[in-house]
Amino acid sequence: MRLADRVALVTGAGSGIGLESALALSREGAKVVVADIAEEPGEAAAARLRDTGGDACFVRADVSKGEDCARMVATAEETYGALHVLFNNAGISHIDDSGAEDTDEAVFDLTMNVNLKGVFLGCKHGIPALRRAGGGSIINTASFVAVLGAATPQLAYTASKGGVLALSRELAVLHAREGIRVNALCPGPLRTELLMKYLDTEAKRQRRLVHVPMGRFGEAREIADAVVYLASSESSFVTGTSFLVDGGITAAYVTPE
């Protein structure tokens, strides 16, 4: 097992990428702290990991709040003795997120508080724990739109994910000599609830797929495989990257229909 004797904390682990990543980390031997703002899905996720032979616990956390982030890290150390892998994955995409003129300030602030401040707070409280463990891996969920720009207006989301890239690069440089690696994971368009709520017709889905060289949406489990790689010693010389798992969309130039 690639992560035996490791402890991983995954935020937003009740569904989507977070859930699939928690399952994948557990399969590779990691003890997993499942963190989510929604108690029922979070508890269910932890139970699912235990039912499949893993060791997992749940902690409710609103990542936009410092005290919640401190508590989830403390839970990892108190329950399992250390923290080695921190996956700052929790994020939102607001249905009313649009361009600069049409996006309300409240929508912008909420998106930044969860998607960017939440990563900052996870790192703020997680880095001392990783240092106490002798090093480890931080993985921050960004997005391909932070590299490419979104065809559909979602300014707050895109800006927040751009911030995750910059924050991850700087932290990677600051903590490299301590054995703490920091990478930003940039998924492409995925068949998840977060995206499908916008692409709610076949016509909309096909318009997006025009831009993806592979011609299909990614699956959350494919992102989870990248998480396991970045968490494991196989990526021991990988830090400060914008790690793209995007079906080739950022490599392509396609004229929109």
pLDDT of 59-79, one tens digit each?
999 999 999 999 999 999 999
Whether residue 178 is contained in a domain is answered as yes
* 230 against 253, higher pLDDT: 230
State the pLDDT confidence band at 213, using cuts at 50, 70 and 90: confident
Whether residue 1 is contained in a domain is answered as no
Number of domains in the chain: 1
Provide the edge-to-edge strand list for the sheet that holds 136-141. 56-60, 31-36, 7-11, 85-88, 136-141, 180-187, 242-245
164-191 tens-digit pLDDT: 999 999 999 999 999 999 999 999 888 7
Whether residue 140 is contained in a domain is answered as yes
What is the pTM (predicted TM-score) of this model?
A: 0.94
CATH number, residue 73: 3.40.50.720
Strand residues in 89-188 grouped as ranges (E): 136-141, 180-187
Q: Quote the radius of gyration of the chain (alpha carbons, Å).
A: 17
- For 132-151, what is the mean pLDDT? 93
Angle formed by the axes of helices 118-132 and 66-80, nearest 10°: 30
Whether residue 253 is contained in a domain is answered as no
Angle formed by the axes of helices 105-112 and 155-175, nearest 10°: 30
Whether residue 43 is contained in a domain is answered as yes
Q: What are phi and psi of 133, to 5 degrees?
A: -85, -5
Place of tokens 């923290």: 83
State the Cα–Cα distance between residues 238 and 210, nearest whole angstrom. Answer: 31
Name which of 97, 88, 98 is nearest 122 in CA terms.
Answer: 88
Whether residue 68 is contained in a domain is answered as yes
Active site residues: 157
Whether residue 171 is contained in a domain is answered as yes
Token digits of residue 220? 């959350």
Range of the domain at 227: 7-244
Name which of 110, 136, 116 is nearest 9 in CA terms.
Answer: 136
Question: Which pLDDT score is estimated for 255?
Answer: 47
State the Cα–Cα distance between residues 215 and 236, nearest whole angstrom. Answer: 32
Q: What is the torsional sign of CA 138, 75, 32, 141?
A: negative
109-137 tens-digit pLDDT: 999 999 999 999 999 999 999 999 999 99
CB 58 within 8 A of CB 48: no
Whether residue 81 is contained in a domain is answered as yes
